[in-house]
Amino acid sequence: MWGPAEDAPAPVRPAPLIDPFQRAITYLRISVTDRCDFRCAYCMAEDMQFLPKRDLLTLEELDRLCGVFIDRGVRKLRITGGEPLVRRDIMHLFRRLSRHLRSGALDELTLTTNGSQLARFAPELSDLGVRRINVSLDTLDPRKFREITRRGDLSVVLAGIEAARAAGIKVKINAVALKGVNEDEIADMIAWAHGLGMDMTLIEVMPLGEIEGDRTDQFLPLSVARERLEQRFTLTPLPDRTGGPARYVRIEETGGRLGFITPLTHNFCESCNRVRLTCTGKLYMCLGQEDAADLRAALRASPDDALVTQAVVEAISRKPKGHDFVIERARPAAVPRHMSVTGG
């Protein structure tokens, strides 16, 4: 017989997920849908063929899989898409996952969004414990925004950002640097974002999925963008890390923070602590490689989590040291799946 509850031994937690290079996997990105209400020219073909809805994991299955990862030491969840907020009843998943924040098992629940649905959902996201989000926004020019997204309305996105800020959510702007498209307004976007107290991150275009154009025409090395920014701003390197691949600087003139994500000109894999789960239950151990584990089959084979946990552990044992992105191989795409499948 155990004595009083306080005398009982603490439950033994399962071993954390450690990859072959001794990196602890503490960050899971979950793509809840491959669908999006935009068709950004560097991300999707204009006439996209989306997955049949019957192939998607249910929200309950996504919740169950997240629980398996949290039990094995994952401390941060990022909900992505496509555009995650277009999935029907998506707030049901956020409500379920927020229990891990309340219990202390999870440090952070966040999302990446194009901002189109933020005005509608920001207050509830804040109530559920979402404290910061990433908004993908590549231009502040309404005409150019429409051209890049093929169907988006900049004013709607800006209203969504304001709604998130009003709800107490910290917003970071993610902008893909596009040669000949937005390279002339990057400095002004930084000044705008920092003026509203928002961090900003610049991202090199990635060779994921077939699109109508040639990504070598879109590719702007961030080393070039940085040199141009240094003609206007003073950039001071920072040691800050937020669990992702960005390297940060402080812009002395604005006091704000700027990140650089450089998968092509500077490999960021040495400290990778993340894996990606698709809406169909495929687990990708690396964004830039095609090896994946089918967790859906294990999930549906048994009502308990033993099989799926075994599948997760086996998959992490295959996590590679780094990706294979090379912009010169972008036609055809270095990786054939679109970013919307694996999550931005």
Binding residues for [4Fe-4S] cluster are 36, 40, 43, 269, 272, 286
Q: Which strands make up the sheet holding 170-177, listed edge to edge? A: 235-237, 247-251, 257-261, 199-204, 170-177, 132-136, 108-113, 76-80, 27-31, 274-277, 282-284, 292-294
**Polymer length of the chain:** 344
Distance CA 223, CA 228 (A): 9
Closest by CA to 164, choosing from 146, 203, 137, 182, is 137
Residues making up the binding site for S-adenosyl-L-methionine: 42, 82, 136, 206
**Residue 276 forms beta bridges with which residues?**
29, 284
**Residue 204 forms beta bridges with which residues?**
177
Residues making up the binding site: 29, 36, 40, 42-43, 78, 82, 112, 136, 172, 206, 269, 272, 274-276, 286
**Neighbour tally for 122: CB within 10 Å:** 26
Distance CA 220, CA 229 (A): 13
- Looking at residue 312, the DSSP 8-state letter turns out to be H
Virtual torsion, Cα 186, 221, 262, 337, nearest 10 deg:
100
Distance CA 258, CA 113 (A): 19
Residues making up the binding site for GTP: 29, 78, 112, 172, 274-276
DSSP per residue, 222-281: HHHHHHHHTTTS-EEE-----SSS-EEEEETTT--EEEEE-TTTS--GGG--EEEE-TTS
Three-state SS at 113: strand
